[in-house]
Structure 1
């Protein structure tokens, strides 16, 4: 049997094109570092699409927080990201939601999960870039953490959230976390929060990201 390719699964291809649109037409806010990151993401994604990468079958999996996904998609469909939200809706039943950590704080298990759609583990296979989604329930605190050797951006699809208590970010906002930059996320009290994310870095780091929460500071 011939190995399935991206062009054999139009719904996945359309979702990737929506990602490309996000990173091509969104604003950098005048920041050179954000402009450069956006370029890296879209250039890598365009290159991946051109190779027509292989698809691997991943077993769909839910976590408790995915009960909030329909509401998050509804919210995204009311905003400027309606095309993106509709493309996500078409593949929502095929997503593999997971935690990504060996140990997840008990209070976080029902309120957080992420899914990868493009990356070393598929379902769209590449080691050039990772794209996926993070979903939070209302009133969630995602503990302090960082990514070694990986630059990360979030684009808000639905819900209000804050990073490091610095500001409130609305749908359409892009936040850039440089490699090793510590960050902590909190979400609003009434609605779920859905973020699209992109990871860039060396292939070996993307293949084995080693996700860990930061150790709590010790008292002097």
Structure 2
């Protein structure tokens, strides 16, 4: 199967998942930009990361509505570009996060389906990883596909979220989270601001 066909399958699965959650209020601000996005394809290089070893476990513990979506990403994992935004020497992250996180972007500024309005893909985190408090200009939504995490916010709030839950993050809001004892998989969407902005850490 060609890379373009693989990416098309995953794009369609993400968009179907999004459309099937028409009653999810946290998705509402993103509906305009997610409609009709991602038609222009460009090739992206394949890259693997250590965190992909947790994909199988994430699929096993996925909630019912996200199982098929995660299974597709696991099936085609070796054909995808797994990325990291941060490096240990320059950013406020530890060994746990360096070796325990990654994401696959399907729609976004750099492709494979190009959009200047929105970015969307799948993120994966190993158990017990701490994602330090940070902020960015884009507004963001997470939909937890598998696993659980304790989310922290700048108001001093901490909220536990589980597979099937969504978390909306407004522009510039400080936020972070710690994954619990199972891998965490998320469907993420960004919009507004620089779609490839590097977050600023605050702890």
- Please, what TM-score do these two structures have when normalized by structure 1? 0.77
Question: 1:148-163 to 2 correspondence within 5 Å?
Answer: 148=137, 150-163=138-151
* Structure of greater Rg: 1
Instruction: Calculate the aligned-residue CA RMSD, in Å.
Output: 2.5
Are the aligned partners of 2:119 and 2:191 in contact in 1 as well (CA < 8 Å)?
yes
- Determine the structure 1 residue equivalent to 2:165: 173
How many pairs were matched up?
194
- Determine the structure 1 residue equivalent to 2:76: 91
- Determine the structure 2 residue equivalent to 1:18: 16
- Determine the structure 1 residue equivalent to 2:129: 140
- 3-state DSSP class of the match of 1:48? coil
Q: Which runs of 5+ in 1 are unaligned?
A: 29-33
Q: Which runs of 5+ in 2 are unaligned?
A: none
Are the aligned partners of 1:118 and 1:132 in contact in 2 as well (CA < 8 Å)?
yes
* Residue 86 of structure 2 corresponds to residue 101 of structure 1: yes
2-structure distance, mates of 1:20, 1:65: 25
* Residue 46 of structure 2 corresponds to residue 48 of structure 1: no
Structure richer in helix, relative to its length:
1
- Determine the structure 1 residue equivalent to 2:175: 183
Higher relative contact order (CA 8 A, sep 6+): 2
2-structure distance, mates of 1:156, 1:11: 21
- Determine the structure 2 residue equivalent to 1:199: 190
